[in-house]
C-alpha cells in the first residue's frame, strides 16, 4: 500500500477539527479519510510545538539530527588524523 503524504495545511486543519471543534480523533479521521493513528500523531505533534505537551519540536529534532551528523564527521576526521600522525611519526624514525 502506497503511503500518502498530506500537506501541512491539511494536517493543521485536521488538528483544528479535533482541538477547536471538539470532534473526537476517530470521528474527525473518518470524516477526512485518514487513519485515526495518523491524526492522533498530528494532534500530539501540535501539542508539542505549542508547548502544551512535553517533547521535542520539529526544529529541535532537526538540530539534533544535524549535530549527530557533525559528530560522526568529526570522529571520522579525528581517526584519520590519528592514523596520519602515527604514519608520519613512524616515517620520521
pLDDT of 46-77, one tens digit each? Answer: 999 988 999 999 899 999 999 999 999 999 99
Mean pLDDT on 13-24: 93
Residue 90 · residue 84 · CB < 8 Å: no
Nearest alpha-carbon partner for 32 in 15, 7, 14, 6: 14
Say whether pLDDT at 1 is over 70.
no
Class of domain 1-55: mainly alpha
DSSP state of 55: S
Note the pTM of the prediction, 2 decimals. 0.67
Angle ∠(52,60,55) on CA atoms, nearest 5 = 35
Q: Where are the domains of the chain?
A: 1-55, 56-93
Q: pLDDT band for 93, please (50, 70, 90 cuts).
A: confident
Amino acid at each position: 500500500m502506497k503511503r500518502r503524504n498530506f500537506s501541512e495545511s491539511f494536517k493543521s486543519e485536521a488538528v483544528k477539527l479535533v482541538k477547536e471543534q471538539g470532534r473526537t480523533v476517530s470521528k474527525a479521521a473518518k470524516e477526512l479519510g485518514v487513519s485515526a493513528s495518523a491524526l492522533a500523531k498530528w494532534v500530539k505533534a501540535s501539542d508539542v510545538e505549542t508547548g502544551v505537551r512535553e517533547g521535542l519540536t520539529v526544529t529541535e529534532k532537526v538540530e539534533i539530527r544535524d549535530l549527530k551528523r557533525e559528530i560522526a564527521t568529526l570522529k571520522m576526521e579525528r581517526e584519520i588524523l590519528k592514523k596520519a600522525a602515527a604514519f608520519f611519526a613512524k616515517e620520521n624514525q
